[in-house]
Amino acid sequence: MAAPLRTPKESWIEEGLRALGVGGPDALRIETLAATLGVTKGGFYGHFDNRQVFLDELLDTWERLFTDAIIEQVSAQSGDPRNKLRQLFDIAVSVDDLVMIELALREWARRETSVGARLRRVDNDRMDLMRSLFREFCPSEDIVEARAFLAFSLFIANRQISADHGPRTRAQTIALAIEELLT
């Protein structure tokens, strides 16, 4: 008799990230995740000793996929720092789930200090990458810091702003903002 199939650990993490983006940190309940995956809670405990271990692995995966891998991808490129920044911005605005997960993580970080500490470290890594790229063509550290901060703010706040942009679409306005940052 064949062993029963188990829901892969990655499925729990993927569903956790999706649930976080949709419902915030309160959506990270084992029973809810199991129901969405169509399995029992027992499968969860086959992969994770407890909920905190799951949450830590979820945050590790978020950091690896949405920070470390992106930094590696952009840093591995040769050539013009403006093109590297364009690629970084393209990645940041192209993944809708990423923004929702980011916003949910920021809400979670306000409630839980360990998540806040991790988010600060990740944000610093992201800002350091942008600083290093802006530094290659900006005339002063003040301008480097301002542009890196504005670029990061654009990524985080974009979904929170509901203003119209006259005859331009949101995508056109973002493209204009990015080009302004890169001049």
Radius of gyration (Cα) for the chain, nearest Å?
A: 19
The model's confidence at residue 159, banded by pLDDT at 50, 70 and 90, is confident
Long-range contacts of 150-157 (CB under 8 A, 24+ apart): 150/181, 151/85, 151/89, 151/178, 151/181, 152/123, 152/126, 152/127, 154/178, 154/181, 155/89, 155/92, 155/93, 155/99, 155/102, 156/99, 156/102, 156/103, 156/106
pLDDT value of position 107 = 95
pLDDT value of position 98 = 81
pLDDT value of position 116 = 97
Ordered DSSP codes for 115-158 = HHHHHHHHHHHHHHHHHHHHHTT-SSHHHHHHHHHHHHHHHHHG
Q: What gap in Å lies between CA 74 and CA 70, rounded to an integer?
A: 6
Select from 145, 143, 109, 150 the least CA-distant residue to 128: 145
Mean pLDDT, the chain, whole residue set: 92
Q: Mean pLDDT, to the nearest integer, of 84-107?
A: 87
- 108 touches 115 (CB < 8 A): yes
Q: Mean pLDDT, to the nearest integer, of 131-154?
A: 97
Q: Mean pLDDT, to the nearest integer, of 92-114?
A: 88
The model's confidence at residue 96, banded by pLDDT at 50, 70 and 90, is low
pLDDT at 166 over 50: yes
pLDDT value of position 94 = 75
Instruction: Report all structural domains of the chain as residue ranges with CATH numbers, in order of start.
Output: 9-181 (1.10.357.10)
Three-state SS for 60?
Answer: helix
Query: Which phi and psi (to 5°) does residue 115 adopt?
Result: -70, -40
Instruction: Give the residue carrying structure tokens 């799951």.
Output: 54
Q: Mean pLDDT, to the nearest integer, of 47-61?
A: 96
pLDDT value of position 5 = 52
pLDDT at 54 over 80: yes
Give the pLDDT confidence of 2-36 residue by residue, as tens digits: 434 578 999 999 999 999 999 999 999 999 999 99
Q: Mean pLDDT, to the nearest integer, of 46-51?
A: 93
**What is the distance of C-alpha 95 from the center of its chain?**
9
Q: Mean pLDDT, to the nearest integer, of 143-147?
A: 98
Q: Mean pLDDT, to the nearest integer, of 66-81?
A: 92
